[in-house]
Amino acid sequence: MQPLPVITPATVDVIEALTADLSPRWALEIVKATGRSPGTVYLVLDRLERGGWVISTWEADAARQGPRRRLYRLKGEALPAARRAVARRAAAHQPIGQPLPHPGV
C-alpha cells in the first residue's frame, strides 16, 4: 500500500463510504452514498486501487440480469489509514471546544 500524495475531500468521501460497509460495493452504491458524481468516484476508486488501498473484482452473479458490476472493497492493511483519514476530516470540522479524536485512531 502506497501513501496517497493528496487526500481530497472526494477521496475522503469515497473512503468513508468504503469503511461504513466493509463488504464489496459497486461504484454506483458509492456514488449514492457520497453524493459525488460518477466520474469523480470512478477516478478516486482507480487512484485508490493503483495505490494498493482498494481491490476490485467482477461480480459473479449469473442469475442477475444486466451487465456485470465491478465490486470494490478496502484492503485490510488500508483500513487503519482509511479510518485515520476520515477521523482527520471529522476533527477538522469539530466545533470549537469539542475534544479531538485520539491520534491513534
Whole-model pTM above 0.75? yes
Q: Rounded to whole angstroms, how far apart are CA atoms 13 and 99?
A: 22
Is 77 a member of any domain? yes
Structural domain tally of the chain?
1
Is 104 a member of any domain? no
**Which residue range forms the structural domain that includes residue 75?**
9-89
- The tens digit of pLDDT for each residue in 65-103 reads 888 899 999 998 999 999 988 888 777 765 544 444 544
Is 17 a member of any domain? yes
Q: If you average pLDDT over residues 31-47, what whole number do you get? A: 96
Is 66 a member of any domain? yes
State the DSSP code for 78.
Answer: G
pLDDT at 34: 95
C-alpha cell at 99: 475534544
> Any idea what the CATH number is for the domain that residue 51 is in?
1.10.10.10
- 18, 60, 51, 48 alpha-carbon torsion, rounded to 10°: -40
